[in-house]
């Protein structure tokens, strides 16, 4: 059953200093939580040890508070659905991986990113994953029967390592949702997005899996995030279904561009909250200036 209480979340990754785009999306999340007398959760998405740094993690609290954000649950304030650091929630992701594996939704894949690019040859944007050509798809039957299940090797943490585990999308099926900001969104599995990784070969749970497990476990009723994640929402809806979890509502915010029309990224140091603060910017004026981006 859907939660009646509004629960929103801020889910930054400490892979760089947060910029104005993040802050305006978070501001929108805060406004929506307040309007609904709800709760706002801060969850730090620090799963990728190669990209996350503790200085960025520590900066998140300071930069977000400077911008005017406040949260009711989080690593620094506690709460009943913790821990709020993804690096401390591995057991939950592993349990979900086991369920997906037992139910035949995922398969091991030995293709490297380069293999996938070579096989697809399609142009791809930096942020979008190319459609997986299906090279390793046949390695496990689509649905594992009860008899076959009994013959599977025991599922252990070690079984996740060394290969990527991919979710088999239902080719040709439409996936739809009603975005609270953008309206009806629809994509076709296998055409607009392909089989995606839920557990990486270096034994790191992938973003798609972790975010679904956590949003469900933390009873998030609405996810507010940037429009660059709309395609991920389709993938995540398939995971909610496969894991038999209730999906939240989604509200995707417009992305802020720099003066050349490029979407802001953590590498745009001049628009980091840190740099803006050091340059004497006023959060209230920034919020008014960029009010359209929410």
Q: How many residues bind ligand GLU (CB under 6 A)?
A: 7
Q: Which of 28, 27, 85 is nearest to 58 (CA)?
A: 85
Near ligand GLU by CB under 6 A: residue from 7, 21, 26, 45: 45
Contacts of 261 (CB under 8 A, 6+ apart): none
- Token digits for 206? 């992938």
Q: Which of 262, 280, 4, 254 is nearest to 127 (CA)?
A: 262
Near ligand GLU by CB under 6 A: residue from 211, 238, 242, 264: 211
Find the shortest distance in angstroms from Cβ 47 to ligand GLU: 9
Near ligand GLU by CB under 6 A: residue from 23, 24, 220, 229: 229
Contact region for ligand GLU (CB under 6 A) — 6-14, 103-111, 127-135, 255-263? 6-14
Near ligand GLU by CB under 6 A: residue from 12, 21, 38, 194: 12
Contact region for ligand GLU (CB under 6 A) — 5-13, 30-38, 95-103, 105-113? 5-13
- Residue 131 is given by DSSP the state P
Find the shortest distance in angstroms from Cβ 265 to ligand GLU: 10
Residues 142-161 close enough to bind ligand GLU by CB under 6 A: none
Q: Give 136-177 as a DSSP string.
A: TGGGS-SS--HHHHHHSPP--GGGGTTSEEEE---TT-EEEE
Contact 215, 248 (CB under 8 A): yes
Near ligand GLU by CB under 6 A: residue from 6, 13, 116, 194: 13
280: left (phi over 0), alpha (psi -120 to 50) or beta: left
Find the shortest distance in angstroms from Cβ 149 to ligand GLU: 32
Q: DSSP alpha helices (H): ranges in 36-179?
A: 54-67, 90-102, 113-120, 146-151
Would you count residue 74 as binding ligand GLU (CB under 6 A)?
no
Choice between 13 and 30, CB closer to ligand GLU: 13
Taking each helix axis from N to C end, the angle separating 230-242 and 207-217, rounded to the nearest 10 degrees, works out to 60
Choice between 211 and 271, CB closer to ligand GLU: 211
Would you count residue 221 as binding ligand GLU (CB under 6 A)?
no
Would you count residue 168 as binding ligand GLU (CB under 6 A)?
no
Would you count residue 175 as binding ligand GLU (CB under 6 A)?
no
Choice between 64 and 229, CB closer to ligand GLU: 229
CA-CA distance, 162 to 160, in Å (whole number)?
Answer: 7
Question: Beta strands 39-42 and 7-10: pairing type?
Answer: parallel
Contact region for ligand GLU (CB under 6 A) — 11-19, 27-35, 144-152, 195-203? 11-19
- Residue 73 is given by DSSP the state B
- Token digits for 8? 């929103």
Find the shortest distance in angstroms from Cβ 229 to ligand GLU: 6
Contact region for ligand GLU (CB under 6 A) — 9-17, 27-35, 54-62, 242-250? 9-17
CA-CA distance, 218 to 201, in Å (whole number)?
Answer: 27
Sites of contact with ligand GLU (CB under 6 A): 11-13, 45, 211, 225, 229
């Amino acid at each position: 059953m859907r939660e009646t209480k509004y629960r929103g979340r801020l889910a930054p990754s400490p892979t760089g200093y947060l910029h104005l785009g993040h802050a305006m999306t978070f501001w929108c999340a805060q406004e929506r939580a307040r309007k609904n007398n709800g709760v706002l959760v801060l969850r730090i998405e620090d799963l990728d040890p190669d990209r996350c740094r503790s200085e960025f993690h520590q900066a998140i609290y300071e930069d977000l508070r400077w911008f005017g954000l406040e949260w009711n649950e989080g690593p620094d304030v506690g709460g009943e659905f913790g821990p709020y650091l993804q690096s401390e929630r591995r057991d939950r992701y592993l349990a979900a991986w086991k369920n997906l594996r037992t139910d035949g939704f995922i398969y091991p894949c030995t293709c490297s990113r380069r293999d996938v690019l070579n096989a697809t040859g399609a142009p791809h944007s930096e942020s979008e994953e190319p459609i997986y050509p299906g090279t390793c798809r046949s390695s496990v039957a689509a649905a594992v029967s009860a008899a076959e299940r009994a013959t599977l090797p025991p599922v252990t943490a070690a079984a996740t390592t060394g290969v990527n585990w991919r979710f088999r999308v239902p080719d040709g099926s439409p996936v739809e949702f009603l975005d609270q900001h953008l309206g009806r969104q629809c994509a076709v599995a296998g055409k607009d997005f392909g089989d995606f990784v839920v557990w990486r070969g270096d034994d790191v749970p992938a973003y798609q899996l972790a975010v679904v497990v956590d949003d469900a476990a933390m009873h998030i009723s609405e996810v507010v995030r940037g429009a660059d994640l709309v395609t991920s929402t389709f993938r995540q809806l398939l995971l909610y279904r496969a894991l038999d979890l209730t999906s939240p509502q989604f509200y995707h915010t417009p992305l802020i561009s720099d003066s050349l029309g490029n979407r802001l990224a953590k590498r745009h140091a001049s628009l980091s909250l840190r740099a803006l603060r050091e340059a004497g910017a006023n959060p209230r004026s920034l919020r008014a200036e960029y009010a359209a981006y929410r």
